[in-house]
Structure 1
Amino acid sequence: MDDQVPGSPQEPRNVRGEDGLPGCYRHPGRRTGISCTRCERPICPECMVSASVGFQCPDCVRGGSGTGHAPQATVPRTIAGGTIAADPRLVTKILLGINAAVFIAVLATGASTSPLISHLDMLGRAFDPGSLQLVGVAEGEWYRLLTAVFLHQEIPHIAFNMLSLWWLGPPLEAALGRARFIALYLIAGLGGSALSYLLAAQNQPSLGASGAIFGLLGATAVLLRRMNYDMKPVLILLGLNLVFTFLWPHIAWQAHVGGLVVGAAVAFGMVHAPRDRRTLVQTGTCAVALLAIGAVVWVRTLQLLG
């Protein structure tokens, strides 16, 4: 009898975790409810390749499953239809770098007194003593909705957000693909800024990537649900973060909630889009989210200027 080679078609398929789900044949520690449509081996989101029917494992796509059949899927795809990249952390690293660069610039120009803070933070409408003018999103400075997402003032703040980004980002980037991941991050960040603009005091500034981070947290919950993974760890983490959001002083809870809702909605459209209309549904989901954000900003601007 031939020896059983881990990851081969002859590998036993009845090895299951406490949740009843088998482990991915390439990553045994990752429980999954999805199997390759050709060799039937369990595969996790990172190993999934979209095919004409269902998903295939990388070995079958390359024609290396030992079945002798030609691969049916010529281009490896993620669960959301993105191209599988050699480095599934590239966009995450770039986002980390941008946040770090802006933070260093803030420290180099005066830290809490840096002019970057007053020019880039999320501010609805306020009087600027320096310019003797009204400034803020209501005054046409819409860029603040996005620049505030990359702006941090204190070390604990950026440390928490960047650790969260490094933990949540790579799995989502691998599952969604680079373009969809960056779209998710930016739209969730804008969603957090928009809700802050709508509900917070008009002269209350806010800054930080927390809205985008909460968007990634919501997207992680959606992805795990889509893959039939155990939801308890992410739900516990989400609950703790929400408790922290509402009980800790000086936290812009509006940005957290806005990012969470928008991130979860965008991720749902991405991972549940029908394969034959995937691009249309995903693009439409992002467009609807942006239109909703624009509507919130428009309504609040009319309120402040009315």
Structure 2
Amino acid sequence: MILPRAPNAYTRSPLDRVSSKRDDAAFVAARLADPTSLFVPVWQAKSLLRGVAAGAPEAVLLTLEAAVALGVETLPHALLGLWGDRAVFALDLSTETDPLPALAGFGDVSFTDLRQVAGLLPPAEASVLAHARGLMHWRTRHRFCGACGAVCEPRSAGNVMVCIGCGAQHFPRTDPAVIMLVTCRAGGEERGLLAHSHRFPLVKMYSTLAGFVEPGESLEEAVAREVYEEVGVRVRDVRYHSSQPWPFPSSIMLGFYAEADDPTLTVDPEELKDAQWFTRAQMRDFESLGLRLPRVDSIARRLIEDWLEAGP
């Protein structure tokens, strides 16, 4: 069994989410007025960072004074939790055309896609920024009730949306997705299965297979179904590895290994451009093949690296 050698990206949050305090109006109001509180700005699904151009990114968290100047009371916001003794709120600036002029006092900052820099950020900062991004994405897409169509209003410190028409409560949504490295020993040397998806921005990037869990389906069944649908391979011995929040926009990735006895591939052209079996030696020197492995902050990369570490 291959165990994770290190935590996945976005899984080392320093926050106490204080869910029992979210409905305490006095507690939330006091924290919103506390000058030590911090605010995590999100603008059009991007995070506020400095040092990106220099290759040394760091998260920029706003003070209460800056949040008030931006109009925190009229903007979507939500309590994320406590970082030590300091409250941390997400603050969505997406309705602003360009919020950067109002943030000039913070130096050379920019709103950047978190995935571009997550591998360079301290793990705690990356986790907090991902939390804010995911929650604000959900908030912007649940302004109206899915049951009756009426307007929804935030409750529970911004972590629940309640319909003013029918009273239905809407909670943040996380979509479970399985992601798996399939291996095969047929023919002698063990090989791993990687594929190139139509969704990959890099033409030469190969990654593990993945797919969403369907209603009424176990995680192991989802692994077997997705592998067979995408490459026509039957798998066995599905083994859990680790999980990773992936709020891009709203998934939780559940990582697995699985074994195949027959390596014959029948690639679904609508799902994938290509799929191939690679030896450990090939993956360790992937660039010599003119190919790239998935990004370093992804659980796909962790599955591959832990498999490489487990073999000769």
- Alignment TM class, shorter chain as reference: under 0.3
- Tell me the TM-score normalised to structure 1 length: 0.25
Of structures 1 and 2, the one scoring higher in RCO (CA 8 A, sep 6+) is 2
- Tell me the TM-score normalised to structure 2 length: 0.25
Higher helix share: 1
Higher strand share: 2
